[in-house]
Amino acid sequence: MPNRRIHRQNRKPLVTDTPTPKRFASLGPLTGTIHVPGDKSISHRSLMFGALAVGETKVSGLLEGHDVIATADALRAMGATTERSGKGQWSIHGVGVGGLLQPKQALDMGNSGTSTRLLMGLIASHGITASFTGDASLSGRPMGRVIEPLSQMGANFTSSPGGTLPLMMTGSLPAIPITYRLPVASAQVKSAVLLAGLNTPGITTVIEPVPTRDHSERMLKGFGAELTVEEIDGERHISIHGDAELSPQTITVPGDPSSAAFFIVAALITEGSDLLIENVGLNATRAGLVTVLKKMGGNIELVDEREVGGEPVADLRVKHSRLQGIDVDPAIAPSMIDEFPVLFVAASLAKGRTTTSGLDELRVKESDRLSTMATALKAAGAIVEELADGLIIEGSDGVPLPGTDEETIVTHLDHRIAMSMAVAGLASKGGVEIDDTRPISTSFPSFEELLAESAS
């Protein structure tokens, strides 16, 4: 029986509750073994593709963060059923491609850009109307980037000024297949168009000048979609055959490298640390942070490299290291796009200067991550210069940051800012006070628990 009550209990509202401030201070070395929760991108896609397959898809290791629960809630509102049999153990009974039903209420996407943009893609080729709402952070984020290609496919949108939520859309049946070259390096836009293409007659193609995370491509093939990827003049051409039929799958979700990132950096910058982080996804389109931190002198060993659910995975043994500032090549940005906030923390403790550039996309994440991190790190005593498309950071060469005294870090409902500044607090003299820990539950509900566990 679908168990709605469990999902609702998991989902503490972000905006209506009062903020939960917290001071993060040095906890001593991080040691022992931890296991990070399931990958957020793969968890969203497991639910969505399962909801489009006919029959039962079984998922283990699903991330039960608020963002993923928002996706599950929306899919149930459109006719799929989900069951939760234990922690991270879910099964989904899908409606078949083309079978989504019109939701009776607005779809509340909370803080989740991935849920919103991918579901907009799905709905674009169904003959249904849906409204999307979200929290203050999500309601400020640009949706024009998906509205544009999906309108070309025939969907209609009425958005708030500036192409933002709340918005209402009506899909087109049949939709029109398109060939679309991505104007921004975005896996969400790529995926939205490919998902719309599933229920569109003919072939829908996305041209990707810069490769972004490829979970949609891998998983759609696994579910039986006819999808091809060709490299032409250095660009990826991804084509999906429409009127697809998806067959249910059994999926094991690997650990999220974007969540592991906080513990990798925490162990590198905390003296005496020697931490084993188990089950970390290391898909090449996601593993940029490990490459950059190793270049900075980080002692990160890949142990027991293997495949989980069709994705490369390893355990990471991370030891405290003397980091060296570097110039980060902007070409690596898409493979670590969510990890820059915590890289900026690592750079603040490194020896010498770290420069980053080509990071305009960080300004339209859950917050403007360039300005939020520059302000936050300066408040904690780091030396940071904010440029239009990156930060320049003069590191302390391992000397703990002073920390925040009177000031409280404003996290702007951004989970990754909250966790990054918590990590900065570990390497500070006086601790770092952040204004609100609630958003952490969007992607990493067990973050504080694991931090306490690894430091004891």
* Binding footprint of ligand S3P on the chain (CB under 6 A): 41, 114, 186-188, 191, 213, 337-338, 361
Buried b (16+ CB within 10 A) or exposed e, 22-33: bebebeebbbee
Distance set, CA 151 to CA 11, 158, 265 (Å): 32, 11, 42
Residue 81, strand partner residues: 93
**Minimum CB distance to ligand S3P, residue 235 (Å):** 17
The residue among 195 and 432 lying less far from ligand S3P, judged by its C-beta, is 195
**Minimum CB distance to ligand S3P, residue 145 (Å):** 8
**Which H or E element spans position 45?**
helix 40-52
Distance set, CA 72 to CA 90, 143, 171, 250, 366 (Å): 10, 21, 20, 17, 20
The residue among 114 and 454 lying less far from ligand S3P, judged by its C-beta, is 114
Which two tokens mark 382?
A: 């780091």
DSSP at 18: P
The residue among 361 and 407 lying less far from ligand S3P, judged by its C-beta, is 361
Buried b (16+ CB within 10 A) or exposed e, 402-436: ebbeeebbbbbbbbbbbbbbbbbbbbbebbbbbbb
The residue among 112 and 428 lying less far from ligand S3P, judged by its C-beta, is 112
**Minimum CB distance to ligand S3P, residue 423 (Å):** 18
Residues annotated as catalytic are 338
For residues 61 and 58, give the distance between their C-alpha atoms in angstroms, rounded to a whole number.
10
**Which H or E element spans position 190?**
helix 187-198
**Minimum CB distance to ligand S3P, residue 383 (Å):** 27
**Minimum CB distance to ligand S3P, residue 41 (Å):** 3
For residues 16 and 13, give the distance between their C-alpha atoms in angstroms, rounded to a whole number.
6
Contacts of 390 (CB under 8 A, 6+ apart): 330, 355, 356, 357, 358, 359, 370
Q: Is the C-alpha dihedral spanning 106, 187, 363, 25 positive or negative?
A: positive
Residue 369: how many other CB atoms lie within 10 Å: 26
**Minimum CB distance to ligand S3P, residue 66 (Å):** 13
